[in-house]
């Protein structure tokens, strides 16, 4: 298995459109790395550059210390699992999984050993004689994963492998991929998805991309609890973090903010004198808001409820604070008896709040 290192990697198409910009990333052997981001951010392009299916316009890609920019895909020691399965319809499950080893002239005994080992790991042993058309979508995806496993690659690449499955199958197959990683602890895996739930539950580290740039790299909870900027704060978490325009009115050991909700709030964050009077962006997650129950609790948001979503385990309240302002979303535990038009006051714990400057950078990380 292998370490990967990307240094100033770029992708520029013929019309001089730069779609990947100076990507720098170290991936250690045994890590499960997830590339996540909105559609068009470059995550699949970056994966294809690692696989060799896309050329690298600038910078270097190293696998185990060797620069592989000009090495053909078949010689990089990489196996890729696509979202489309790409199975041979006329071949059985066994033959689909064995095909690459047959092409490589591996002995029949070794092929049988590797295929049956992979089938056992993926609970496919009872399906080895079936054709792909006799399998469910989840089973076909497992066959595609098994075909990658038998090659014993240095690196596994997954390109949105669950996007063609329904919700229930996605959950089940996600659990199987997590179990697969546990059974192959030395394997390096890179996984592309637009689904933040997949990213949060599978990744050792998340690489969050936007418009060809890396916005933040870190453990899932680090991105959730310490977002580097407003983009990360709003992308990670559902519903998205509330971002409220504010002005810094007091600095020192605590920062006082005047929010556009017409309320002042103190945050336990130390700012410099030159930041007083500057515009800022205040952030609080919907699940960190709570109904104000005591006069001693500071009011963060007060307004009329515009919409109520009852989810069973939680209730989402969309609160209109004033004309022209974005709705503030609160996620409260349980089923609650609020209705449209109710007046509500919300507060939050100061340590759960975030403050970003006008450019969108988190003050705690500056």
Burial of 325 (0-12, 13-18, 19+ CB in 10 A): middle
Domain at 4-235: CATH code: 3.40.50.300
**What is the reported pLDDT for 4?**
96
Phi-psi region of 267 (alpha: psi -120 to 50; beta: other; left: phi over 0): beta
Same fold, 4-235 and 242-365: no
CATH match for 242-365 among 3.30.230.70, 2.30.40.10, 3.40.50.620, 2.40.50.140: 2.40.50.140
- Where along the chain do its domains lie? 4-235, 242-365
Tokens encoding 194: 């637009």
Q: Which two tokens stand for residue 283?
A: 């952030």
Residue 25: is its pLDDT beyond 90?
A: yes
Q: Kindly report, residue by residue over 100-152, the tens digit of the pLDDT.
A: 899 889 999 999 999 999 999 888 999 999 999 999 888 998 899 999 989 88
pLDDT given at position 1: 62
Distance of CA 245 to the CA centre of its chain: 26
Q: Please state, in angstroms and rounded to a whole number, the distance separating the CA atoms of residues 188 and 85.
A: 21
pLDDT at residue 82 in the model: 85
**Is the Cβ–Cβ distance between 292 and 312 less than 8 Å?**
no
Residues 270-301: tens digit of each pLDDT: 999 999 999 999 999 999 999 998 888 889 99
Look up residue 69 and give its DSSP letter.
T
pTM of the model: 0.91
Q: Which residues of 121-156 are buried (b: 16+ CB within 10 A; e: fewer)?
A: bbebeebbeebbeebeebbbbbbbbbbbbbbebbbb
């Amino acid at each position: 298995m292998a370490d990967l290192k990307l240094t100033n990697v770029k992708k520029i198409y013929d019309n001089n459109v730069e779609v990947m910009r100076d990507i720098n990333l170290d991936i250690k052997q045994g890590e499960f790395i997830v590339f996540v981001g909105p559609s068009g951010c470059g995550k699949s392009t970056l994966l294809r550059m690692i696989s060799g299916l896309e050329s690298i316009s600038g910078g270097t890609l190293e696998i185990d210390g060797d620069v592989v920019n000009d090495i053909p895909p078949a010689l990089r020691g990489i196996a890729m699992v696509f979202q489309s399965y790409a199975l041979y319809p006329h071949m059985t499950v066994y033959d689909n999984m064995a095909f690459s080893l047959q092409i490589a002239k591996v002995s029949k005994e070794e092929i049988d050993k590797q295929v049956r080992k992979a089938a056992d790991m993926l609970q496919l042993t009872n399906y080895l004689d079936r054709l792909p058309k006799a399998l469910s979508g989840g089973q076909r995806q497992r066959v595609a994963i098994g075909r990658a496993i038998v090659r014993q690659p240095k690196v596994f690449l997954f390109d949105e492998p669950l996007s063609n499955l329904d919700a229930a199958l996605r959950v089940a197959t996600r659990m199987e991929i997590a179990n697969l990683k546990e059974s192959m602890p030395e394997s390096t895996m890179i996984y592309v998805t637009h689904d933040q739930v997949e990213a949060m539950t599978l990744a050792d580290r998340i690489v969050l991309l936007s418009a060809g740039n890396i916005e933040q790299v870190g453990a899932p909870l680090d991105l959730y609890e310490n977002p580097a900027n407003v983009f990360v704060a709003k992308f990670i978490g559902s519903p998205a973090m509330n971002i409220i325009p504010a002005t810094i009115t007091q600095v020192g050991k605590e920062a006082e903010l005047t929010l556009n909700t017409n309320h002042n709030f103190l945050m336990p964050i130390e700012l410099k004198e030159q930041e007083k009077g500057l515009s800022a962006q205040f952030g609080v997650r919907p699940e960190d808001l709570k109904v104000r129950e005591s006069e001693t609790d500071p009011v963060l948001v007060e307004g009329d409820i515009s919409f109520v979503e009852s989810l069973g385990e939680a209730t989402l309240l969309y609160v209109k604070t004033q004309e022209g302002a974005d709705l503030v979303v609160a996620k409260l535990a349980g089923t609650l008896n609020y209705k449209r038009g109710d007046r509500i006051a919300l507060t939050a714990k100061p340590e759960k709040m975030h403050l970003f400057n006008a450019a969108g950078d988190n003050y705690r990380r500056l």
